Structure 1
Amino acid sequence: MSEPIMRSPLHALGLASQARPIDDSHGVWANEIPHLGYISLRGDSRDQAFVSGASKALGVPLPLDPCTLARSESVTVLWLSPDEWMIISAPGRVNALRASLEQALAGVRSQVVDNSGGYTQIFLGGTHALDVLRHVSVYDFESLQPGRVVGTTFGKSSAYAFQQGDGYRLIVRRSFADYIWRYLVRATTPYGLGIANVAPD
């Protein structure tokens, strides 16, 4: 009996084989960053026991200000609402991270759920990345500063977006990943699209 194979929602597009280092040959660069870990954390941000326990388990202060994020070398924590956060990590750390959160929050009203199979991440960069975002969403991306995250429309779907490194990161639901990628490709037509070789970081 063969072992199960983990495939990203965009694996059929063969993006990995098309990827190359970013240069000036295209106005927009994009690619999927597959197989990351996504943990949903729910709790009361007014409960000091919850905030301190989660912060200790994550190794980074839980972001409490609306639409902010916190990062360390191993995790990115996105504020989604007053009682919900998304934790992004390397896939190999998900189980240990979930167990650490559950242990730190034992006896505290909270919920920790591994949603790794439900999301994927898309990198978007290049000199015209901001122009593309203007095409695909109603949000004013010029106001999206580093350290902030926004949940917004993306065509007829939605995504969470934030700046990181030399571009933007889009967190999208697995079931809409193909639609969002094709919508993104169409929006890049005036600028030229290259498939970027990007590290998961």
Structure 2
Amino acid sequence: MTDLKTNSPAYNRTRIDGDTSLIELPWCGKINLRGDSNNNQFVKKVESTIGLALPVEANTCTKNDAATLYWLGPNEWLMHCQMADTENKISSLKAVLSGLHSAVVEVTDYYTVLRLDGPDSSALLAKACPLDLHPDRFANGACAQTRFGQASILLHKISHNTSHNISAAPAYDIQVRWSFTEYVWDYLASGMNAL
């Protein structure tokens, strides 16, 4: 496991505060899950093991206090959970899915999550992201794999604004591969400086 205090992908970047803010979120466990969403046995075993409904519609996620499960494709999901729960969740999933066509892989060290929050966040993302981020097209709670400049990201529009008391201000979690974290951070920071 990575030493998260010294090897954080944005370790030498200082959080940006203001009307629009940018931070790296604390690390969490990340598990890639694959299986047949048309197999009721697979779906029921996953749901009973992790306590979350398996999202089967494109660009959706489900969450509770302990975990978030993102739809990545018809037969692929990504789960975020507490770091301390990661190994137990992996072991439990592998045990209940034994004999079913499935895969459970830890990817904690592969991704980090940046949070962009505030009234200019949609405009900043639109500079390098091809998604239509209008609230009618990308609503609160929506998630999608897409591009930001040269980086592949998983973009999640969180349903509430955590840093500001501006109810209309959107907030996004941007999950990005470790090796592209500084690239995405610097791209967003340069756009924020130009505002």
Normalising by structure 1, report the TM-score: 0.84
Alpha-carbon offset, residue 76 of structure 1: 0.6
Structure 1 residue aligned with 2:120, among 119, 125, 128? 128
Alpha-carbon offset, residue 27 of structure 1: 3.1
Whole-angstrom CA distance in 1 between matches of 2:10 and 2:141: 27
Aligned AA for 1:77? L
- Residue ranges of structure 1 left out of the alignment (5+ in a row): 192-201
- Paired residue for 1:11? 11
SS in 2 for 1:11: coil
Whole-angstrom CA distance in 2 between matches of 1:64 and 1:108: 18
Alpha-carbon offset, residue 136 of structure 1: 2.2
Aligned AA for 1:120? T
Whole-angstrom CA distance in 2 between matches of 1:78 and 1:154: 19
- Paired residue for 1:199? none
Aligned AA for 2:172? Y
Whole-angstrom CA distance in 1 between matches of 2:124 and 2:103: 36
Q: 2:58 matched to 1:66?
A: yes
Aligned AA for 1:147? G
- Paired residue for 2:156? 162
Alignment: residue pair count: 181
Supply the RMSD in Å over aligned alpha carbons: 1.7
Larger RCO, structures 1/2 (Cα 8 Å, 6+ apart): 1
Aligned 1:8-157 pairs, distance under 5 A: 8-13=8-13, 15=14, 26-142=18-134, 143-157=137-151
Aligned AA for 1:185? A
Whole-angstrom CA distance in 2 between matches of 1:159 and 1:74: 23
Alpha-carbon offset, residue 126 of structure 1: 0.9
* Runs of 4+ that moved beyond 3 A: none
Normalising by structure 2, report the TM-score: 0.87
Whole-angstrom CA distance in 2 between matches of 1:8 and 1:168: 20
Alpha-carbon offset, residue 109 of structure 1: 1.1
- Residue ranges of structure 2 left out of the alignment (5+ in a row): 162-170
Whole-angstrom CA distance in 2 between matches of 1:180 and 1:5: 22
SS in 2 for 1:136: coil
- Paired residue for 1:196? none
| Identical columns (%) | 28
Task: Judge conservation of contact 1:136–1:187 (CA < 8 Å) in 2.
Answer: no
Shift in CA distance, 139/30, structure 1 to aligned 2, threshold 3 Å:
same
The C-alpha deviation readout for 1:67-86, integer Å capped at 9, x for no partner, is 11001111110000011000
Higher deviation after alignment, 63-72 or 135-144? 135-144
Whole-angstrom CA distance in 2 between matches of 1:144 and 1:106: 37
SS in 1 for 2:22: strand
